Chain A
Amino acid sequence: MALKIVKGSIDRMFDKNLQDLVRGIRNHKEDEAKYISTCIDEIKQELKQDNIAVKANAVCKLTYLQMLGYDVSWAAFNIVEVMSSSKFTYKRIGYLAASQCFHESTDVIMLTTNQIRKDLSSPNQYDTGVALTGLSCFVTPDLARDLANDIMTLMSHTKPYIRKKAVLIMYKVFLKYPESLRPAFPRLKEKLEDPDPGVQSAAVNVICELARRNPKNYLSLAPLFFKLMTSSTNNWVLIKIIKLFGALTPLEPRLGKKLIEPLTNLIHSTSAMSLLYECVNTVIAVLISLSSGMPNHSASIQLCVQKLRILIEDSDQNLKYLGLLAMSKILKTHPKSVQSHKDLILQCLDDKDESIRLRALDLLYGMVSKKNLMEIVKKLMLHVDKAEGTTYRDELLTKIIDICSQSNYQYITNFEWYISILVELTRLEGTRHGHLIASQMLDVAIRVKAIREFAVAQMATLLDNAHLLTGNTQRNGICEVLYAAAWICGEFSEHLENPMQTLEAMLRPKVATLPGHIQAVYVQNAAKLFATVLRSQEGNTDRTAAQETSQLMIDRLPLFVQSANLEVQERASCILQLVKYIQKLQQKDVEVAEEVNALFAGELNPVAPKAQKKVPVPEGLDLDAWINEPPSESESEDEKPRTMFTREETKHSRPRHTEVDEKELAKRREVRKQEQASNPFYIKSSPSSQKVYQEAPGVDHIPVVQIDLSVPLKVPGLPMSDQYVKLEEERRQKDRADKKKKEKKKRKEKGGRRGKRDSGPESEEDITPAHMVDIVTEEMPENALPSDDDDKDPNDPHKALDIDLDSLVAAARRRPLADSEKLPVRSHRSSEALKTMAEEVEVVAPQEAKKKGGKEKKEKKKDKEKDRKKSKEEKKKKKHKHDEGEEDLMGGQTEEPMVQSETTNDVVAPPPTTTAEVSDLDFWLSNAPVPSNSQEVAVTAVTAPAAAAAAAAAAAAAAAAAAAAVPPAASGSAPDSEPDEPKDAEVDESKSSKHKKKKQKKEKEEKDKKKKKKHHHHRHHSDGAGEESVQNGTVEEEEEPLPPMSNYCLLAENSYIKMMMEDADTVCDIQGNLQDGSQVVVSLIFENKCDSFLKAMEFNVLDSLNSRLQRPDGAGPHDGLTVPFQLPPGVSNEARFVFTVKSIVMPQKLKGTLAFIVKNEDSSTHEKLDFKLHFTCTSYLITTPCYSDAFAKLLESGDLKASSVKLEGIVMPFPHLLARICFHHHFSVVERIDSCASMYSRSIQGHHVCLLVKTADQTVSIDAKCDEPSLLSNVLDEIKLTFSQC
């Protein structure tokens, strides 16, 4: 028997799989819960069995139940069991269950670490895949830390299926374990160029997610993404990238310029709406970032608006929606272009789709003007009446208020109209936004003085009809307006026609049903009214009236004294006692009105919402310090009652600040007044001092004032805003008519525009506001601090991922990952290790912060500079070309930007070596088409790629200078040059003065060398009347603070050259390229500095045996190359020239000449400019990363010849010294221990150069090894020279 039962139950268990469960649930519709609970019992039985198949089946069912909302966390351990099954089928079930119900606080999750690791390294790709998928859902910080290394390995798995999953999951790992970002990032970056499109897409995905949160750290990837964008055909990836660019452009306007063209092309060419839409979106972002920058972008705006119009007109509602959404973005910066589509947008307001109507509402915000505000609001009010859903109606309400109140009520010409609109809005039932209306009422009444009388009258009627609003108080948010009404009536009670009536209205028993905070205001303002009433009544001879009023108060107030609300109770009992006292005095026939009024005397000024926050904390006050000892924990129970009160208060939520402000102010007013009165230094803040306009001399002259009577009231006392529209129109017409007749009316005194004869269409300015409104500005504390950082969420997990990655990509050479930073490998979790890791992070942090600071500064300066001299941008190219490290990544990319720049610049010198490396962001960006009208300073940049040849352009002697110019690239060489800059900047700042000296020296040298040129120089000064008289010195001074070495040095060249040259300037930079060991590209920027037109420029160089200029086929060896452009005055342009270099072991110089024709209005003269190109040995070196083990091997190999040099009197700190060597001589730091460092570099022809730099007591010894002794000695000489100059 027992056996039978057992057997039966086993059968049943086996029977019931997921399908059976589902079927069962469907069959038990009535008692589903009961059925499921029996099922759960069965499942529990099943889970107790040893058979894994049964368990898996049970877990599978649990997963389903979890979806239905049943908590299955109790089975977590069984899930882990199923996960660890060796069979893929069960494993998959287990992981699915885990991904559905595990989370960070699931404790068994730590048991899974080893299982997951095992699965990750399983030979079966699907085991791995399933583990990765599961892990992506339940990864915890612990798992992330322990498995990060394993996952990173998987990123290079042979199967793309695994690679893409591993790449994707890295994002989750980063989120949970931010420390892993730095070590994993280079590999992640590699994956951007994975051969498999899926992996590539995954990497794009991850980086886009990362970059969205901390875009500035990913700016340096822009070139890479740009390349992907122009090469990819996968729309999904394209969309991601384009979205990413949208996030990046605000940080780097130059990027935007570069993007516009390809994006525009895409917009024109793509047939995919999704892509088109994202392109338009990003173009908008670009335009926003450029904002006013470029006038010729109006074409792009037009294009966007046009395309969006097409979207909006589409029958597909989705496109319509998105079109409106994007339109609203344009609205912010280019409202004009959107306004022309007003018809379309108003049409959308009538769309049947609510989402579309909402979007159209957003746009309305920008459509209004003084002229059409009333009309538009009228239309919206109609919608309000028609709207069924409360959400849409609420949205309408907020929009109406937004539209009207925008930019300080700029578009409101008639505030009476606005008040009536607000009052009309109070008729909405069940809106959540009562408080919004209330605060508008308060704001207008307080700040627009002229309207107070009208407002008070309206509010009094509101109070009178309060019962209409409070239909069912608790759920009705609209009763909030009573708060405003009561306050306005109380505060400005002097304007009340019948204060007594209002007072009675405020003391009705029904009031006690209102929310507490409103009652409190009622009570307080009843007191104010009481004071007013008393005064008016005491003026009369009849004393009884006054006493009756007091009696009324005494009768009614006890109701409030009984209130459950503390605030109401307190105020009521205070005031009650006060009134009783007054009554006593009254009975003694004492005049009290004055004294009672004094309680509420004084003007309340509006306070800006953030004013309190912006009060600077006084020095020495630590707000975080405990004043008393913190209460012990046991006391916490006592707090319960307190929370009860606060809870009650928050239930009727009013904007808290106003409440506090009001009460606070009311209480302190008296004190303040006294203080002010007794303080002789207090300057009374007479409101008129803040006024821009004088208060209208006679408000009663305003034509509209009388309407009060003419308005037929629907609900007693509630005005109809429509009337105002009509009246307003009439008024305007009258105005116009008046103007025509040129009648002298008082209105004119108010500053309204004097009418003109021509009565064209009414323009904005023609509309004179009905009230010359004095809008009182809000008060702010005197030395308020700008605080924009209020809104950052400190809990954002992405904040932890704000890690400077740029410095890392070049990791090997600049700041290798510290051991402790590397990802923990297998089970090494000793607490000590963790500790060091933490320390390391701490150490890193400030450093990074500094860097960032530097960067920012630099950027700012850049901006400034840009205005003056765009040329510098051009120069930045130099820097960039140096990134040999990037070759692989950038290989394909280099071509494009280059080509682009050429086409735009129209410079086609000898075929530009596509080899030039473009890794550096700045360089890449600087390639952006230069607008033809830009005023650039003449600079000639020479980029010599191929072998790092250092070609000095005209400024030949600039050997040193060139070296200086190159370094930035060198030190930054790594793929992301960006990171480097900050560091450079740092170094540079500290040494800028030294640089200056150095530069000057250089200049001297050069001058000596070229006396001829000096001649030129003199001439230039003597007869160059019309020329820019920027002196070398002055320029330098201005530019000196520029942090990055590169800029600095370039500028030096720039100004130097200026002095040397009469009509054109030349600066050069030289760069080597690994790919082609014998080519050097020199790019020159010519700038015309005189008033004449320069044309027929011919560039020629005297070839040496070793180096020669590449000339087009068929040209003789001595023919010059024509520069393919002409230069109008003030314009600069760039040309590139290619040189072939045979031997790189010796520095060399090339003489050259630039011949050109200067064309004046009536004459033209031939001119010539000589220069020398200087190729230093250093410039043949390429910064190449080297790992310490490879470095050690290299040294051990014994193939290298040694040499050494000693530098005396070096005072700079060691890191600066290293940075200098890196910077100027293209080395990378392999390892650094205390005051000793090994460095490495490589020549374009593959020579290794190793340095061991030691420092002690101002003496620096450099031991060097190289397989080419003469190269080595030359390099050492150059290093020596560099340091002797500082």
Chain B
Amino acid sequence: MIKAILIFNNHGKPRLSKFYEHYSEDTEQQIIRETFHLVSKRDENVCNFLEGGMLIGGSENKLIYRHYATLYFVFCVDSSESELGILDLIQVFVETLDKCFENVCELDLIFHVDKVHNILAEMVMGGMVLETNMNEIIMQVDAQNKMEKSEFFPFFSLFADVYLSVYQAGQVDTGRHRRGARTRRIRRKEHESPRNAQEHQHWRHQHKSAKLTLLQIVAARWLPRPADVHQCLL
């Protein structure tokens, strides 16, 4: 069983938290903080398993994490899960995000938590792994997004392209119009006009890291069929 899935950035800011057991909001924050402390003080090239998260379930559970660019992806699992399998699952998750968001970066997770949740829901359900096949996941996510769109634009199917271009901003890419969508997205990110100078500053700063997407940064370590993808899923 997976007990919790946490994503937070290098500063410990939560980007997504999914607990499969109930905790009060305060405890949840405490868990995130504790986990961040445990994980963040570890070197880059040490193993990705960690015992001793005190809050969730105690000693039976393990933290399995991966660090991508600015984000930590942490899965808290019990002994019934295969450690290496979960590592691969995290990789699948990130690659799926990458496909759905077209070069995912931290900003995507910041502004579209709900969509990340929806993607995650197709992978893990109630703490158990539902689907590990990336294409299948993407297919289901796309189908649901399409349905969502059709609810707002009843003639969606007729004028798909027109509506798409109108609606694209802020939507998860369906993958049908990848190239076009990509340029638009980049433009959007750059054009997201700052409202004041301070924000502008911040925005640019953020953008530096944002430019390098999660997977690109990590590519040197992970992507070219990294040695530590254990072929459980990929």
Contacts and interface: CB of A to CB of B under 8 A. Distances in A.
B82 A168 contact: no
Interface in A286-320: 315-320
Contacts of A316: 227-228
B114 A60 contact: yes
B160 interface: no
Interface stretch (A269-277, A476-484, A602-610, A967-975): A269-277
A355 B148 CA distance: 46
A22 interface: yes
Contacts of B111: 18-19, 22-23
A202 interface: yes
A315 B45 CA distance: 10
Interface stretch (B68-76, B126-134, B172-180, B210-218): B126-134
A749 interface: no
A1257 to B, nearest CB: 56
B28 A27 contact: no
B170 A353 contact: no
Contacts of B45: 317
A22 B24 CA distance: 23
A352 interface: yes
Given A89-B148, A93-B114, A318-B48, A236 B80 contact: no
A164 interface: yes
B114 A96 contact: yes
A208 B132 CA distance: 17
A89 B25 contact: no
B53 interface: no
Contact of B82 (A88, A274, A320): A274
Interface stretch (A66-74, A712-720, A822-830): A66-74
Interface stretch (A130-138, A935-943, A992-1000): A130-138
Contacts of A164: 130-131
A208 B78 CA distance: 13
Interface string B116-149: 0110010001111111110010001001100110
Contact of B125 (A66, A87, A92, A168): A168
Contacts of B191: none
Contact of B1 (A18, A96, A209): A209
B84 A274 contact: yes
B29 A356 contact: no
A322 interface: yes
Interface string B38-63: 00000101111111100000000000
Contact of A208 (B14, B20, B52, B80): B80
A355 B118 CA distance: 34
Nearest to B86: A274
A239 B47 contact: no
Looking at chain A's contact residues, is the secondary structure mostly helix, strand, loop, or mixed? helix
Contacts, number: 175
A277 B47 contact: no
Contacts of A206: 128
A722 interface: no
A22 B110 contact: yes
B129 A205 contact: yes
B208 interface: no
Contacts of B228: 316, 318-319
Given A18-B111, A133-B125, A274-B85, A67 B232 contact: no
A104 interface: yes
A243 B82 contact: yes
A354 interface: yes
Contacts of B25: 66, 69-71
Interface size class of B (residues with CB under 8 A): 35 or more
Contact of A18 (B114, B144, B151, B195): B114
Contact of A168 (B49, B128, B152): B128
A87 B51 CA distance: 43
A944 to B, nearest CB: 42
B49 A89 contact: no
A834 B17 CA distance: 38
Given A137-B20, A209-B1, A273-B84, A355 B50 contact: yes
Interface string A180-208: 00000000000000000010011001101
Given A277-B84, A353-B47, A391-B52, A235 B231 contact: yes
Contact of B231 (A243, A273, A319, A353): A273
Nearest to A90: B151
Contacts of B170: 19
A274 B230 contact: yes
A866 B164 CA distance: 72
Given A96-B114, A236-B233, A67 B47 contact: no
A26 B206 CA distance: 11
A235 B233 contact: yes
B181 interface: no
B88 interface: yes
A26 B232 CA distance: 39
A437 to B, nearest CB: 22
A136 B125 contact: yes
B118 A96 contact: yes
Contacts of B195: 27
Interface in B85-123: 85, 87-88, 110-114, 117-118, 121
Given A22-B110, A64-B113, A169-B125, A318 B147 contact: no
B83 interface: yes
The interface centre, meaning the residue of B28, B84, B196 with most chain A CB atoms within 10 A of its CB, is: B84
Contact of A104 (B22, B121, B136): B22
A521 B113 CA distance: 58
B16 interface: yes
A274 B133 CA distance: 17
Contacts of A240: 82
Contact of B46 (A93, A169, A277, A354): A354
A69 B46 contact: no
B139 to A, nearest CB: 10
A14 to B, nearest CB: 14
Contacts of B190: none
Contact of A277 (B48, B82, B136, B198): B82
Contacts of A100: 18
A1273 B63 CA distance: 68
B161 interface: no
A981 interface: no
A454 interface: no
Contact of B16 (A22, A67, A88, A271): A67
Interface in A20-75: 22-23, 26-27, 60, 63-64, 66-71
B126 A136 contact: yes
Contact of B151 (A70, A88, A136, A165): A88
Nearest to B83: A322
Contact of A87 (B52, B83, B144, B151): B151
A1117 to B, nearest CB: 57
Contacts of B28: 69
B151 A209 contact: no
Contacts of A63: 113-114, 117
Given A88-B148, A168-B125, A317-B46, 6 more contacts: A71-B25, A126-B144, A239-B85, A272-B231, A353-B46, A356-B47
Interface of B: 1, 14, 16-18, 20, 22, 24-26, 28-29, 43, 45-52, 80, 82-85, 87-88, 110-114, 117-118, 121, 125-133, 136, 140, 143-144, 147-148, 151-152, 170, 195-196, 198-199, 202, 227-228, 230-233
22 contacts: A18-B114, A27-B196, A27-B198, A67-B113, A92-B118, A96-B117, A129-B140, A130-B121, A168-B126, A236-B232, A272-B230, A272-B231, A275-B230, A277-B82, A278-B82, A315-B227, A317-B47, A318-B83, A321-B47, A353-B43, A355-B46, A355-B50
Interface of A: 18-19, 22-23, 26-27, 60, 63-64, 66-71, 87-89, 92-93, 96, 100, 103-104, 124, 126, 129-130, 132-133, 136-137, 161, 164-165, 168-169, 171-172, 198, 201-202, 205-206, 208-209, 212, 235-236, 239-240, 243, 271-275, 277-278, 315-322, 352-356, 358, 391
